[in-house]
């Protein structure tokens, strides 16, 4: 059984994510998962999870270290890569009929049925959803997390609210992340997506097929002509 | 359940000598903190410590509440302040480490060995009692001197109290005594005298007070309650919301199977490498 498509460099490829986007993505992945499993030890009151990190104190320490790395990475990347962030937000705001079409037909594709999907921009309807929900939840996690860490400097009501905000944001983010991780790798319909985030490039024919609008605007004949 | 035991504090007998405060520190081997005044905090300068609070090295203290009344004139209301040992304690419920247990004789026992200092209990407690202590990275609170009680002794504060304002014993007996005392006080110059702790928070607190005036005149919450944020978190988010995660994981697993089964049936599995959907 094939898990993900093989990486081929004998065919034309186009860039999808630059180095900054990719490193931020993967540092966030690692720190998120560290925070998740150390946090779940407390949320589920699971001794067996805490043991992996050397007990609850160890888990708390890992949680905090990962939290600092995550916060610093995200904030730095947003400053250095402000152009990319703006381009990304602009693409999210291009939410149109094609995205609604995507979302309506997606459940069938998710299960593996063949469907005709309307042309997509750089991020398809599902990716747009993920791009809106996950970062929002991660920001809520960071804000509530820092409040929980240093409770005495805040208004007590805010600390109490932070406890359930941290939990709900963790739950929603984890739902999105687990679906996203699967769709970005093992889901047969997603094809080259994984290589876009791992190596930075995707096959040109795949890009043209899956993200027609983005491909035409960025690498199509008109765009090429303009660039020259 | 064993017969409940507790401390009864009678505000009409307390002279604010703060012997209990010293005895408690001594018994629990807690240092004196010279950087804060127990009379109301730095800069306050008066004897009014109604806003004073216990801290990580001070499990109990006497609060000075100055009240002014057109009939009675100025009065000092003294209150011994510490953990109330709630009958149904919320600190016990929110603690992710199970550091709290209710001892069968009524003490809300906090196990410092288990505590990781997250302070969830501090913000859940309707009296804000557990205090964070940096040097141990745990919280601390009144222990009701459970070790002394186990040996048949009284809590240190009760034993030391010269005017007999703190009395340790069986809760039912102490409640009877308190009722009699309140009756007496009401006809002897304290018409608003009352018991505090019998029914507060619905099920009551183990700790009992005889107050010479209404609770607000002692800086006590008249209707102590658990905050809505804490109830929502503990009764809804904690037990139920987490189930959404296995549902998402299950959906992915289902898709993993069905998409491959369907693709194999259509003999189009190569479609994966070629770019997926049409
Ligand atoms: C990025 C900044 C973050 C900070 C500063 C932060 C901080 C904290 C702190 C201080 C606690 C209290 C527990 C303890 O003392 O060890 C906590 C609990 C927790 N955190 Fe985080 N966290 C962050 C991110 C995350 C992320 C990304 C996740 C999950 C994906 C997460 C999930 C949890 C969970 C599940 C708990 C336990 C909640 C409970 O006991 O109900 N946190 N966090
Ligand atoms: S007063 Fe606070 S710390 Fe003490 S038993 Fe009640 S909830 Fe727990
Ligand atoms: S600070 Fe300690 S006792 Fe309080 S909730 Fe956290 S682990 Fe439990
Ligand atoms: S019962 Fe013990 S720990 Fe509690 S206030 Fe009295 S002396 Fe201090």
Complex ipTM, two decimals?
0.88
Q: Count the helix, strand and coil residues of chain B and give each as a percent rounded to the nearest 5.
A: 35, 20, 50
Assigned domain for A2 exists: no
Q: Taking CB atoms and an 8 Å limit, are B97 and A6 in contact across chains? A: no
Q: Which fold has domain B5-225?
A: Alpha-Beta Plaits (3.30.70)
- CA A190 to CA B255: how far, in whole Å? 12
Q: Taking CB atoms and an 8 Å limit, are B269 and A2 in contact across chains? A: yes
Per residue in A176-216, pLDDT (tens digit) is 999 899 888 888 878 788 999 999 999 999 999 999 999 99
Per residue in B196-228, pLDDT (tens digit) is 999 999 999 999 999 999 999 998 999 999 999
pTM of the model: 0.90
Nearest residue in A to B275, CA atom? A191
Assigned domain for A136 exists: yes
- CA B132 to CA B40: how far, in whole Å? 20
Q: Taking CB atoms and an 8 Å limit, are B262 and A210 in contact across chains? A: no
**Domain ranges across chain B:** 5-225, 230-270
Choose the closest CB to B255 out of A112, A115, A151.
Answer: A112
Give DSSP secondary structure letters for B90-159. HHHHH-TT--EEE-TTS-EEE-TTT-----HHHHHSTT---EEETTTTEEE---TTHHHHHTTPPPHHHH
Going from the C-alpha of A1 to that of each of A117, A193, B257, B263, B275, the distances in angstroms are 26, 19, 12, 12, 17
Q: Which of A164, A168, A193, A212 to mutate to test the interface with B (most CBs of B within 10 A)?
A: A164
Is the CB of B127 inside a 6 Å radius of any atom of ligand 2? yes
The ligand with the least distance to the CA atom of A162 is 1
Per residue in A132-168, pLDDT (tens digit) is 999 999 999 999 999 999 999 999 999 999 999 999 9
- CA A131 to CA A124: how far, in whole Å? 10
pLDDT at residue B130 greater than cutoff 80 = yes
Percent of chain B with pLDDT over 90: 69
Number of domains into which chain A is organized: 1
- CA–centroid distance, B247 to ligand 4, in Å, is 48
**H or E element that contains B208:** strand B208-211
Residue A13 half-sphere exposure toward CB, CA atoms < 13 A = 16
Which residues share a beta bridge with B138?
B133
What is residue A210's predicted lDDT score, i.e. its pLDDT? 92
Q: Which of A51-65, A136-150, B21-35 has the lowest mean pLDDT?
A: B21-35
Task: Identify the CATH number of the domain in which residue A96 sits.
Answer: 1.20.950.20
Assigned domain for A4 exists: no
Assigned domain for A164 exists: yes
The parent domain of residue A86 ranges over 13-227
> What Rg, from alpha-carbon coordinates, does chain B have?
26
């Amino acid at each position: 059984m094939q898990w993900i498509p093989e990486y081929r460099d004998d065919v034309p490829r186009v860039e999808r994510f630059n180095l900054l986007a990719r490193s931020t993505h993967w540092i966030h992945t690692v720190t998120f998962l560290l925070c998740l499993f150390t946090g779940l030890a407390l949320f589920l009151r699971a001794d067996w999870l805490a043991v992996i990190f050397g007990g609850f104190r160890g888990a708390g320490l890992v949680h905090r270290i990962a939290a600092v790395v995550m916060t610093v990475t995200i904030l730095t990347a947003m400053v250095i890569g402000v152009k990319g962030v703006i381009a990304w937000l602009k693409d999210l705001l291009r939410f149109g009929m094609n995205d609604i079409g995507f979302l309506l037909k997606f459940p069938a594709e998710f299960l593996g049925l063949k469907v005709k999907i309307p042309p997509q921009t750089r991020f398809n309807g599902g990716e747009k959803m993920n791009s809106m929900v996950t970062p929002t939840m991660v920001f809520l996690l960071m804000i509530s997390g820092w409040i929980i860490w240093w409770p005495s400097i805040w208004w007590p009501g805010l600390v109490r609210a932070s406890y359930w905000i941290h939990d709900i944001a963790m739950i929603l983010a984890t739902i999105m992340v687990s679906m996203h991780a699967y769709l970005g790798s093992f889901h047969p319909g997603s094809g080259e997506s994984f290589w876009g985030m791992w190596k930075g490039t995707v096959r040109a024919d795949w890009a043209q097929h899956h993200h027609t609008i983005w491909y035409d605007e960025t690498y199509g004949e008109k765009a090429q002509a303009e660039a020259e | 359940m064993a017969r409940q035991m507790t401390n009864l504090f009678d505000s009409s007998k307390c002279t604010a000598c703060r012997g209990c405060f010293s005895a408690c520190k001594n018994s629990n081997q807690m240092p004196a903190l010279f950087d804060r005044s127990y009379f109301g905090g730095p800069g306050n300068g008066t004897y009014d410590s109604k806003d004073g609070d216990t801290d990580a090295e001070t499990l109990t203290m006497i609060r000075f509440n100055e009240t002014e009344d057109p009939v009675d004139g100025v009065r000092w209301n003294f209150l011994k302040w510490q953990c109330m040992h709630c009958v149904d304690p919320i600190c016990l419920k929110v603690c992710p480490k199970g550091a709290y247990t209710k001892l069968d004789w009524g003490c809300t026992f906090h196990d410092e060995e288990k505590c990781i200092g997250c302070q969830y209990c501090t913000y859940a407690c309707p009296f804000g009692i557990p205090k964070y202590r940096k040097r141990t990275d745990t919280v601390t609170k009144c222990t009701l001197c459970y070790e002394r009680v186990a040996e048949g002794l009284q809590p240190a504060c009760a034993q030391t109290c010269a005017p007999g304002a703190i009395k340790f014993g069986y809760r039912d007996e102490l409640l009877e005594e308190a009722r009699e005392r309140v009756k007496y006080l009401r006809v002897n110059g304290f018409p608003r005298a009352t018991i505090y702790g019998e029914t507060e928070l619905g099920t009551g607190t183990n700790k009992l007070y005889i107050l010479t005036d209404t609770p607000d005149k002692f800086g006590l919450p008249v209707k102590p309650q658990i905050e809505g944020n804490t109830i929502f978190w503990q009764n809804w988010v904690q037990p139920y919301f987490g189930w959404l995660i296995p549902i998402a994981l299950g959906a992915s697993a289902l898709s993993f199977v069905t998409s491959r089964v369907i693709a194999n049936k259509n003999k189009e599995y190569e479609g994966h490498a070629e770019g997926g959907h049409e």
